[in-house]
Amino acid sequence: MTMLQTSDSPRRGRGVNSFASARRQVRESTSDRALTVVSAGVVGAFAVAILYPLIYVISSSFSSGAAINSGAVKLLPVDPNLDAYRQIFDSPAFVTGFINSLIYSIAGAVLGTVLTVLAAYPLSRADLDGRKTILFALLVPTLFSAGIIPTYMVVRDLHLLNTRWAIILPGAMSMFNVIITLAFYQVTIPEELLEASRLDGANDFQFLLRVVLPLSKPILAVNLLFYAIGQWNGWFTSLIYLTNEHLFPLQLVLRQILLQNQVTADQMGSDAAALVAQKELFDKLKYALLAVAMLPPLIAFPFVQKHFVRGALLGSLK
């Protein structure tokens, strides 16, 4: 379609273009069109396979327990109600976990983004002596990692065990984000801008705050959301660094309920009918928990989606 956009005569260009596309349609009618149909079918099938379990989980969380157990829920909710959600928002473990996850996500997003910008901006400056050495030194541990035990010992020696800092600090900065941000700055902040603001008497701090940061809203958004989603979805650091249940993030609570069925223990001793009702509610509860845990990242990601294709490209060029 764009093949003749650079043509000097627009009228002639359009004419040739339509002629070319007419000719192409004739030729494409066999193998090319078949390929397009097959492509659309294959990626479409993949998309359905991804979407179906997610819809099923959400539908089940709104359905009645009897409908879930009898297999009546196929795609849409059956006997829609909000019992399970009411139940989980009444549960102290869940509410604490939810609030903790929010705290970790916000703190992790802010701290991670600040560290990333502070690393990426100076390293994007061609006139910084030793930038290759510093960058290399930052990248070495990503190629050769110390493993969980030495990292655990550091957290222990810093007396961070069983504090919120243990969740926020050790993984605060990701080198992957630093590289992408660094590449973004190299492309979007021209040297003339720096020189112009130097003439205006701005130093590097002022330049970063007043020129670079306003220009880097897209990459800041990507960083904030990546770090926030990372914290929201994390559970392993809390498993090894926390024993105090009041600090547990949502994912750890989720793991206990979903994968270890730890709630059933205190449901013993009631009569049979109540037990069945509770079992049904518990089954629904699991779906509702899954739905609540997966929703925030799914809501957040379309906002960054358009940025990270560009980010990935910049990252891959580096």
Partner 1 sequence: MTARDVHPEVSSSRRSLARRRIKRNWRLYVMLLPPVIFAVLFLYWPLYGMQMAFKDFSVANGINGSPWVGLKYFRTFVDSYQFWPTIKNTIILNFYELLAGFPIPIVLALLLNSLRSALYRRGVQLILFAPHFLSTVVVVGIMVMLLDPHGGLINQATGFFGAGPIDFLGEPSLFRHIFVWSGVWQSAGYSMVIYLAALAGIDPQLHEAAKVDGASRLRRIWHIDLPGILPVTVVLLVLNMGSILSTGFEKVLLMQNSLNVGVSEVIDTYVYKVGLQSSIPQFSYATAIGVFKSVTALALLLCANWLARRISRHSLF
Chain residues 237-276 in contact with partner 1, contact rule CB under 8 A: 240, 251, 254-255, 258-259
- Dig out the tokens for 252 from the structure: 């750890």
Asked if 116 and 230 count as a contact pair (C-beta separation under 8 A), the reply is no
Which is nearer to partner 1, 164 or 286 (by Cβ)? Answer: 286
Shortest gap between Cβ of 250 and partner 1 (angstroms)? 9
Which is nearer to partner 1, 99 or 140 (by Cβ)? Answer: 140
Could you give the CA distance from residue 257 to residue 264 in angstroms, rounded to a whole number? 9
Judged by CB under 8 A, the chain residues 180 through 209 that form the site for partner 1 are 203-205, 208
Q: Is the dihedral of CA 65, 69, 70, 75 positive or negative?
A: positive
The three-class DSSP label of residue 248 is coil
Interface residue with partner 1 among 81, 82, 89, 236 (CB under 8 A) is 236
Q: At what angle do helices 92-124 and 250-260 cross, to 10 degrees?
A: 130
Shortest gap between Cβ of 38 and partner 1 (angstroms)? 8
Q: Contact region for partner 1 (CB under 8 A) — 54-62, 89-97, 189-197, 270-278?
A: 54-62
Task: Please report whether residue 213 would count as binding partner 1 according to CB under 8 A.
Answer: no
Task: Please report whether residue 224 would count as binding partner 1 according to CB under 8 A.
Answer: no
Shortest gap between Cβ of 263 and partner 1 (angstroms)? 14
Could you give the CA distance from residue 212 to residue 195 in angstroms, rounded to a whole number? 13
Could you give the CA distance from residue 167 to residue 237 in angstroms, rounded to a whole number? 6
- Among the listed residues 144, 143, 168, 142, the one whose alpha carbon sits nearest the alpha carbon of residue 155: 168
Judged by CB under 8 A, the chain residues 105 through 164 that form the site for partner 1 are 114-116, 118-119, 121-123, 125, 127-129, 134, 137-138, 141, 143-154, 158
Could you give the CA distance from residue 222 to residue 227 in angstroms, rounded to a whole number? 9
DSSP assignment letter at 288: H
Number of residues that bind partner 1 (CB under 8 A): 99
Interface residue with partner 1 among 9, 47, 99, 274 (CB under 8 A) is 47
Which is nearer to partner 1, 103 or 134 (by Cβ)? Answer: 134
